[in-house]
Amino acid sequence: MTVAPRDDLALMDGYHSPQLDVAVRLNTNESPYGPPEAWVDELAGALGDVAWNRYPDREATALREALAGHHGTTPDRVFVANGSNEVLQSVLLAYGGPGRTAVTFEPTYAMHSQIAKVTGTAVVQAERADDFTLDLDEVDRVLADGPAVVFLCSPDNPTGRVTPPEQVLRVVDASTAAGALVVVDEAYGQFAASTALDLVDDERPLLVTRTFSKTWAMAAGRLGYGIAPAWVVAELEKVVLPYHLDAVSQLAGRLALGHVDAMEARVEQIVAERERIVQALDDLPVHQWPTGANFILFRPDEGRGDDLWQALVDRGVLIRNCASWPRLADCVRVTVGTPEENDRFLSALKESL
């Protein structure tokens, strides 16, 4: 005996990121390094002081103050949640929902559409230009239909494309006129040369998300946040569950902000490795797209993406197979790993091509 779920859920698949047991895993854009040992020790020590019989600080005051300090803003402009995915969900609960529409520019992060649908928000999937940059005419076209939420992703996953701040501003200005909230997902923001964070202003309907999952090497901890006008943060606070962010996550994030230098050193190292891989790919028979993230999207000039992906798996290297994704025929995506992992990827790739 079963019970029927909502009609619209019956049509949906869950989100999956297939894992295989191979030596080199470069498929999910995680940090190849663990977080700084000093942070792990500090957190272990601080856990002894958690008042386990009490609910955590509902306002997450200390964490929000620390994040505000980190970004040169005020705590009332900081919304914290269980990963940036919960920030996105909160945005859609507050600003989406039945009768409202969210816009994405494809190809982009599948969770934007997925979470929208789960919250009953209609989704309009607009197109990026052929080179995967943002097409401003397309932006104007979809804004004319009066969406409630506009998603940008910069650097974009899976293409790696960065939307320059002047283009983000152009989208925000058009959205202000259309009454839409713009969300810029900057899960990979620290790997890029530009950010939309400086554009956040009480007069602009703009929220920028960041996460501890990628650059901070804390994907296991589930911590993300959004920087937005205080009037947006106040609405998001209304839709989250009481005490949604547990005491340990709050502590983990606050202590991590004492290790910004270590985080920045990792980012620098990964960006240097990314550039090394980009140069190596330049000499191989593949097409790659410019990237500002910790991953590279590319496509073999000849042969099928599926076959290339399998040939790499056979050599102990797992990357992401995007070959069957809409608009990404024969494409694969590799996450930047440690120098040793990247060497193994490059030699397996040369053999496979």
Ligand X SMILES: *Cc1c(COP(=O)(O)O)cnc(C)c1O
Distance CA 135, CA 16 (A): 29
Closest distance to ligand X from the beta carbon of 213 (Å): 3
CB of 187 to ligand X, least distance (A): 3
- Under rule CB under 6 A, residue 224 binds ligand X: yes
Q: How far apart are CA 7 and CA 4, in angstroms?
A: 8
Establish if 157 lies at the interface with ligand X (CB under 6 A).
Answer: yes
Is residue 189 at the binding interface for ligand X, with CB under 6 A as the rule?
Answer: no
Task: Quote the Cα angle for 285-288-290, to 5°.
Answer: 150
59's tokens: 């306002």
Q: What angle do CA 349, 131, 273 make, to 5 degrees?
A: 40
Residue 72 DSSP code: T
Q: Which residue in the set 84, 114, 249, 335 belongs to the binding site for ligand X (CB under 6 A)?
A: 84
What is the H or E stretch that residue 178 is in? helix 165-178
Coil/strand/helix, residue 132: coil
133, 175, 190, 213: which one contacts ligand X (CB under 6 A)? 213
Task: CB nearer to ligand X: give 117 or 214.
Answer: 214
Q: How far is the CB of 4 from ligand X (least distance, A)?
A: 29
Q: Which of 75, 83, 96, 160 binds ligand X (CB under 6 A)?
A: 83
211 touches ligand X (CB under 6 A): yes
Task: Kindly state the smallest distance separating residue 274's Cβ from ligand X, in Å.
Answer: 15
Q: How far apart are CA 73 and CA 288, in angstroms?
A: 37
**Binders of ligand X: how many residues, by CB under 6 A?**
14
In whole angstroms, how close is the CB of 315 to ligand X at the nearest point?
26
Q: Is 109 in the site for ligand X (CB under 6 A)?
A: yes
Any contact of residue 151 with ligand X (CB under 6 A)? no
> Looking at 93, 174, 183, 187, which residue binds ligand X (CB under 6 A)?
187
What separation in angstroms does the CA of 62 have from each of 19, 48, 175? 36, 18, 33
Residue 352 in the binding site for ligand X (CB under 6 A): no
Residue found under tokens 């554009």: 199
DSSP assignments along 246-298, one per residue: -HHHHHHHHHHGGGHHHHHHHHHHHHHHHHHHHHHHHTSSEEE---SSSEEEE
Q: Would you state the structure tokens that stand for residue 77, as one six-digit string?
A: 């402009």
> What residue number has its CB nearest to ligand X?
83
Among 82-90, 143-151, 269-277, 334-342, which window interacts with ligand X (CB under 6 A)? Answer: 82-90
Binding mask 261-300 for ligand X (x = CB under 6 A): ----------------------------------------
| Residue numbers at the binding site for ligand X (CB under 6 A) | 29, 83-85, 109, 153, 157, 185, 187, 211, 213-214, 219, 224
